[in-house]
Amino acid sequence: MSKTVGEKRTCRVCEKTFVPSFIFDFYPDGEDPSVGRCERCMMTELFKKPDPVSVTPEHAETVCKSGKGEIACSFLGLGEGGFSCLKKSSFESAIQERRRAGSIGAKGDNCSGPPDFKIS
Ligand SMILES: [Zn+2]
């Protein structure tokens, strides 16, 4: 059986109804070919960034150089839950932007970030 061309599909995430085309496709994700996600929703999920990873106060001090001025890592975050590494999270691009603009005091880039925190 061939795929019906021009058939309307409904994205189960954004509930937008559209006719799949080669520029905007539909991705079935179950047994039922009428159930699935639109291209935009699939890509959004694919590129979703992980949450910041917590780091211990020791790591923050020895690797991230917390509170040490310019050598402190730009990607170190401090929140209610303690220290976290913002590398690879959704905050990373904003930090990269500030590093490029030179508008961030902590200029270090001290390790590879999660998951293995390799010291650079
Ligand atoms: Zn969608």
b/e code 66-104 from CB counts within 10 Å (16+ = b):
beeeeebbbbbbeeeeebbbbbbbebbeebeeebeeeeb
Instruction: Dump pLDDT digits (tens) for 20-75.
Output: 988 889 998 888 888 999 999 999 888 888 899 999 999 999 999 999 999 999 99
Ligand 1 center from residue 15 Cα (angstroms):
6
Ligand 1 center from residue 35 Cα (angstroms):
11
Ligand 1 center from residue 67 Cα (angstroms):
44
Q: Which of 29, 31, 37 is nearest to 13 (CA)?
A: 37
Ligand 1 center from residue 42 Cα (angstroms):
7
Ligand 1 center from residue 90 Cα (angstroms):
21
State how far the Cα of 61 lies from the Cα of 97, in Å rounded to an integer.
24
Amino acid of residue 61:
E
Domain ranges across the chain: 9-46, 49-120
Give the model's pLDDT for residue 66: 96
Helix, strand or coil, per DSSP, at residue 96: helix
Ligand 1 center from residue 7 Cα (angstroms):
16
State how far the Cα of 28 lies from the Cα of 21, in Å rounded to an integer.
14
Ligand 1 center from residue 25 Cα (angstroms):
10
Give the model's pLDDT for residue 47: 84
Ligand 1 center from residue 93 Cα (angstroms):
24
